[in-house]
Amino acid sequence: MRIVHPVEPDQPPSPRSGRDPDHAHGNGLVASGLRHAYGPLTVLDLDTFTIAPGDRHAVIGPNGAGKSTLLGVLAGTIRAQTGQLTYNGHTVTRHGAEWRARAGIGRTFQHPTLWPDLTCLDCVRIGGWHHRRNPDRTPMETLHLVGLADHAHQHAGSLSHGHRRMLDLAVAIAGQPRILLLDEPAAGLTDTETGRLIDVIHRMPSWIAVVLVEHHMDVVAAVADWITVLHHGRRHTAGPADTVRADPRVAALYLGTNGGGHAAHP
């Protein structure tokens, strides 16, 4: 199995422009013509979706908009029925989740079950298994980053929900991803834990792309510089974060007429 060489860490990210659909073609992830349906119900129907190094990209939308399906398709856990994906210029449409993870596409899960019988330290070791001889940081340092150093020898199954979510993030980070897909990382977190999550994302190197599916608009506002709004599996709106958040159509669809609030009204 040939692994596509990831983007060199030293390569600076190019600034994102909404006028540049080919932005990610050379060294990012490009999805085109993605379509996925469960029976008669189409849950994803996207012409293009691109992720380039350094992106901080939020995908929002009401429940059932296809956000998690999109993340699954990008990560390889769901195989799109039609469409094509290229990563660093290579077609990866038929490559599975394990291949994509090794190539640098990491992810967290909406329901972070992890490995309940293993300690937090072992979970992070497994997450970074393929980089164990040349890690960016040790498993303990990764746990320290997400605030779980004191729980290193505790079984993952005995952690609180918030800690489990942070451990899921630590496992994904340990895999040294070039593109990190986060599926509702703030769901169920306390204010303190949410602050920690935002801090962790801010401290990620600028060449890592972060794609965030999230209902928690404070987190989206703090992290994302680009927002895609999905509705019934299709792109409703996409653009710079400030523009999209100010768009009255998005407010009407998703945020509520007051335009604020922490969580979406489904």
Partner 1 sequence: MSAFTQAFAADRTPPLLKRGATAAFAAGAVTAVAMSPASYLHTTVARMLPLALLAVSVAVVTGHAGLPTLGQVAPYAVGAYLTARLALTGIDLAAVHLLTAAIGGAVVAGLIGTVLVRYRGTVFLMLSLAVAEVTAITAGQWRAVSGGTDGLAGIPAPRLLPGLPPLHGDRTVLLYAATIAVAATFVAVWLLRGDRRMLLTAARTNEDRARASGHLVYANLWMVHTAAGGLAGIAGALLIHTHRWITPADVGFGVAALALLAVVIGGARSLIGAAVGAVIVLIVRDIVAVEVPGHAPLLLGTLFVIGVYLLPGGLTALPTRLRRQLSAGPHSAPPAPANASVRRTS
Question: In angstroms, rounded to a whole number, what is the distance separating the alpha carbons of residues 18 and 227?
Answer: 11
Q: Does 193 bind partner 1 (CB under 8 A)?
A: yes
Q: Does 200 bind partner 1 (CB under 8 A)?
A: no
Q: Does 199 bind partner 1 (CB under 8 A)?
A: no
Q: Does 96 bind partner 1 (CB under 8 A)?
A: yes
Q: How far is the CB of 121 from partner 1 (least distance, A)?
A: 10
**What is the arrangement of strands in the sheet containing 234-240, beginning at the earlier edge strand?**
105-107, 179-183, 209-213, 56-60, 226-231, 234-240
- 140 burial type by CB count under 10 A (0-12 exposed, 13-18 middle, 19+ buried): middle
First to last CA, the chain: 42
Question: In angstroms, rounded to a whole number, what is the distance separating the alpha carbons of residues 161 and 100?
Answer: 27
Position 118: which residue type? L
Question: In angstroms, rounded to a whole number, what is the distance separating the alpha carbons of residues 256 and 45?
Answer: 25
Stretch that binds partner 1, among 18-26, 108-116, 221-229, 244-252 (CB under 8 A): 108-116
Stretch that binds partner 1, among 30-38, 141-149, 190-198, 223-231 (CB under 8 A): 190-198
Q: How far is the CB of 251 from partner 1 (least distance, A)?
A: 17
Q: How far is the CB of 92 from partner 1 (least distance, A)?
A: 14
Question: In angstroms, rounded to a whole number, what is the distance separating the alpha carbons of residues 24 and 194?
Answer: 29
Residue number, 23 or 71, with CB nearest to partner 1: 71
Residue numbers 163-182 binding partner 1 by CB under 8 A: 163, 168, 171-172, 174-175
Output the six-digit token pair for 210: 């972060």
Stretch that binds partner 1, among 31-39, 133-141, 185-193, 220-228 (CB under 8 A): 185-193
Tell me the site size for partner 1, rule CB under 8 A. 47
Binding-site member from 116, 205, 256, 260 for partner 1 (CB under 8 A): 116
- 178 burial type by CB count under 10 A (0-12 exposed, 13-18 middle, 19+ buried): buried
Binding site for partner 1 (CB under 8 A): 75-77, 96-99, 101-102, 106-107, 109, 113-118, 122, 125-127, 129-130, 160-163, 168, 171-172, 174-175, 186-194, 215-216, 262-264
